[in-house]
Chains A and B, each alone.
Chain A
Amino acid sequence: MSLSPPNNGQRAIAVRALDLWKSYDDGAVTVLQGIDLECFEGRSVALCGPSGCGKSTLLHLIAGLDQPDRGRVWVNGSELDRRRNLLNLLRHEIGIVFQLHNLIPDLTLEENCLIPAVAAGTNPHAARQRLGELAERTGLHKRLKHRVQKLSGGERQRTALCRALMNRPKILLADEPTGSLDERTGGMVFDLLLELVNAEGVTLLMSTHDRALASRCDRIVEMHDGRANETVCVL
């Protein structure tokens, strides 16, 4: 089944997944069973569903962090090809926020955020300027020199958000971005996430258990047993 929302405003397709299949343990566990999905640029899409339904796997395949058994993925019109363009897409087009932030604990907030800019070859001065701008928006500007170990859970996830946006990606993939936070902190981080993606015109594809948060996205895609169903299409 193809999941394409009505394309009001003739927006371009930012992410397209076609007939994605993925299994583990030599095929013993099939996680995705022919997923089709299209996301338009500048929109936010929530992937909802019970644990194990394949939300994270789908995000990992779209990010190129894992390979599908079958199927194809396009990001901003370019087909994902591990040999040709994956690194370029990861450096410049895609930002990722993980549930457990995946920051380097021995480094400071500033250093963690600068690493993707170094990898992308960004001018150091421009990178620091960009970080200053993001830190200001996320309220982290006074914590730049603090090591990750010294930051609270909410601050760490905000840092992960800054890091993901450092290279001005066009697509932000967020895997349970508030899953490790309490309800209040999670709500605050999510507010910030939506504010930033709207301000920067980023396409957001997010997995979440939280229906309340999901309902604030433009679309909700319900996943069950490795298959996807559209439940709500706000725009």
Chain B
Amino acid sequence: MEEPMRLSAFSEEAQSGIAPNPVAQAAWHGLMWLVVANTVGVMLAALLLFPNLNGALGEWTYGRWMMVHMNLELYGWTSMPLLGFLFKVYGVDRGPAALWCRPVLWVWSAALGAGALAWLSGHSSGKLFLDWQGYTRILFIGALLTLWLFLLLKSSLLSGSGLRSGKDRRVWWAKLVGLVVLLAVPLLLYFASSPAVYPPINPDTGGPTGASQLESSLIVVLILLTLPCGIARRLPGKRRAIGVAWWVLAAESTLCAAMGRANASHHQPLQYMSLGTLLLWLPLIPAYYSAFAWHDNTRRWRTALYGWWGALVVTGWVLFLPGVLDKFKFTDGLVGHTFVAMAGFTSTALILVVVQILGDGGWVFNRTRSFYAWHGSVIAYAALMTIAGWLEQSNPAFTMIPGTLRNLLYALRLLTGSFMLLASLDWFVGASRLLREPASLRIDPLQEKTA
């Protein structure tokens, strides 16, 4: 007897009434990597506290796990939710195209998983955050190009349908420019991973110059200004706040272009004063974001974003100042600042975007326990590392040779890391539930409840 034909995974979904929610899927993948990376982070914090445990790791040493931890945070957690953003902006999160989002996400995750195994095996370019080497370099670039081709072929860009008004045409052009810029990412990543290419460094500190810091910070500002455009409606009568922000960005970009990038010491006034112009963005970002209509669920995340943005800009500038950088360079103090940047600011911005797109589904990130566990832990972590950095600058062996104070600080750090892991687990479990929600419960945040 002939066996009944098996339904494909796609049609099974269609029959069960659970239509794919690509943004939730992207958030789920990002959170999965966040949980994995945070677990590795907790293990690393434990290794620093109990060096004896290193013996049990064999050749999968602290250094290799550190690479895994940092890359999974960057290319997993802080990247994959943005895929959800791209799905939404390019309109591939609905209709037949939505069925293809899941394979695209899995291709990315598979490349990342292969990368993690390769790093653990000791294969790395040796460049921070550009550790892709050999076949994993090809795999990850392949994942990026898969996403790019998917956006190109499955969005309405090629057909150009629905371009009735001038606004439609402007949006079409903006999306096209965005896609061209996105194509540069895999190409740049491929070349930058090569040992032959390296960024300019400050000969005084071995770190980046003020000009290159300003340049990278302005790219972050550009991303911050772009994010609401694709996911939130502009409120009437708020053109000025938006215009001012873009004009300031243009002025600072001109300043940055006029400055020499390489071989500039942080002792030069031009370097630290130009970096100081970023302080203008402390009031500008909240003003800019208030010009858009946001879902109710984003309220606490917007407040958190303004707080982390302020902390990042102020601490970044202060740490770069002559006399301060000289003390804190290569210490745990800079680890604390990096934590403000990644776990504080970047994570908050990502969650804000995801909550806005998910709309009512944003409850996943709004449980009070995980919200305060995360932010409280990041604040505590940054404070602990600043103290450790301060002690380290007068005693360089402070972090290397276990002592009572050092062990106390590292034990507290392990504790804060554990709380962050619990918070990320809470979000991950919520996102897993969200994937099983019927599509009818989802509401488009651009049309519904806004604050």
Please give the residue numbers on chain A whose beta carbons come within 8 Å of chain B beta carbons, in ascending order. 82-88, 91, 104, 106-108, 111, 114-115, 118-121, 124
A selection of 27 A-B contacts at a CB cut-off of 8 Å is A82-B59, A83-B59, A83-B122, A84-B59, A86-B59, A87-B58, A87-B59, A88-B55, A88-B58, A104-B396, A107-B396, A107-B397, A107-B400, A108-B397, A111-B400, A111-B401, A114-B401, A118-B51, A118-B400, A118-B401, A119-B51, A119-B54, A120-B55, A121-B51, A121-B53, A121-B55, A124-B402
A88 to B396, CA, bound (A): 26
Q: A83 touches which one: B53, B121, B401 (CB < 8 A)? A: B121
Nearest first, the 10 closest Cβ-Cβ pairs linking A and B are A121-B52, A111-B397, A106-B396, A107-B397, A121-B55, A118-B51, A114-B401, A83-B59, A121-B51, A111-B401
A87 to B60, CA, bound (A): 10
Please give the residue numbers on chain B whose beta carbons come within 8 Å of chain A beta carbons, in ascending order. 51-55, 58-59, 61, 121-122, 396-397, 400-402
Which one of B52, B59, B61, B121 has the greatest number of beta carbons of chain A within 10 Å? Answer: B59
Residues of B within 8 A of A108 (CB): 397
Residue of chain A at shortest CB distance from B121: A83
A131 to B55, CA, bound (A): 21
Residue of chain B at shortest CB distance from A114: B401
Contact check, B59 vs A115: say whether CB atoms are below 8 A apart: no
Residue of chain A at shortest CB distance from B50: A121
A108 to B122, CA, bound (A): 31
Residues of B within 8 A of A88 (CB): 55, 58
Given A83-B59, A86-B59: A121 in contact with B54 (beta carbons within 8 A): yes
Residues of B within 8 A of A85 (CB): 59
Residues of A within 8 A of B401 (CB): 111, 114-115, 118
A76 to B151, CA, bound (A): 58
A107 to B122, CA, bound (A): 29
Residues of A within 8 A of B51 (CB): 118-119, 121
Residue of chain A at shortest CB distance from B398: A111
Given A115-B401, A118-B51, A118-B402: A82 in contact with B61 (beta carbons within 8 A): no
Residues of B within 8 A of A121 (CB): 51-55
A104 to B330, CA, bound (A): 14
A158 to B54, CA, bound (A): 28
Contact check, A82 vs B122: say whether CB atoms are below 8 A apart: yes
A83 to B52, CA, bound (A): 20
Contact check, A87 vs B396: say whether CB atoms are below 8 A apart: no
Residues of B within 8 A of A120 (CB): 55
Residues of A within 8 A of B59 (CB): 82-87
A173 to B107, CA, bound (A): 47
A115 to B398, CA, bound (A): 12
A104 to B55, CA, bound (A): 24
Residue of chain B at shortest CB distance from A81: B59
Interchain nearest-CB distance for A109 vs B (Å)? 11
Residues of A within 8 A of B396 (CB): 104, 106-107
Residue of chain A at shortest CB distance from B56: A121
Which one of B53, B58, B397 has the greatest number of beta carbons of chain A within 10 Å? Answer: B397
A85 to B59, CA, bound (A): 7
A33 to B51, CA, bound (A): 40
Residues of B within 8 A of A124 (CB): 402
Residues of B within 8 A of A104 (CB): 396
Interchain nearest-CB distance for B90 vs A (Å)? 43
Residues of B within 8 A of A115 (CB): 400-401
Interchain nearest-CB distance for A151 vs B (Å)? 16
Residues of B within 8 A of A107 (CB): 396-397, 400
A86 to B122, CA, bound (A): 12
Residue of chain A at shortest CB distance from B403: A124
Interchain nearest-CB distance for B55 vs A (Å)? 5
Residues of A within 8 A of B402 (CB): 118, 124
Interchain nearest-CB distance for A87 vs B (Å)? 6
Contact check, A87 vs B61: say whether CB atoms are below 8 A apart: yes
Interchain nearest-CB distance for B117 vs A (Å)? 13
A87 to B122, CA, bound (A): 12
Residue of chain B at shortest CB distance from A86: B59
Residues of B within 8 A of A91 (CB): 55
Interchain nearest-CB distance for A75 vs B (Å)? 15
Residues of A within 8 A of B122 (CB): 82-83
Residue of chain A at shortest CB distance from B61: A87
A91 to B396, CA, bound (A): 23
Interchain nearest-CB distance for B398 vs A (Å)? 10
Interchain nearest-CB distance for B33 vs A (Å)? 26
Interchain nearest-CB distance for A154 vs B (Å)? 23
Interchain nearest-CB distance for B225 vs A (Å)? 43
A91 to B51, CA, bound (A): 13
A115 to B401, CA, bound (A): 7
A107 to B61, CA, bound (A): 24
A104-B396, A111-B400 given; 13 more Cβ-contact pairs under 8 Å: A82-B59, A82-B122, A83-B121, A83-B122, A87-B59, A88-B55, A107-B400, A114-B401, A115-B400, A120-B55, A121-B52, A121-B54, A124-B402
A31 to B397, CA, bound (A): 38
A119 to B122, CA, bound (A): 18
Interchain nearest-CB distance for B126 vs A (Å)? 15
Residue of chain B at shortest CB distance from A147: B396
Residues of A within 8 A of B52 (CB): 121
Residues of A within 8 A of B121 (CB): 83
Interchain nearest-CB distance for B61 vs A (Å)? 6
Interchain nearest-CB distance for B440 vs A (Å)? 53
Interchain nearest-CB distance for A168 vs B (Å)? 15
A114 to B54, CA, bound (A): 16
A85 to B396, CA, bound (A): 30
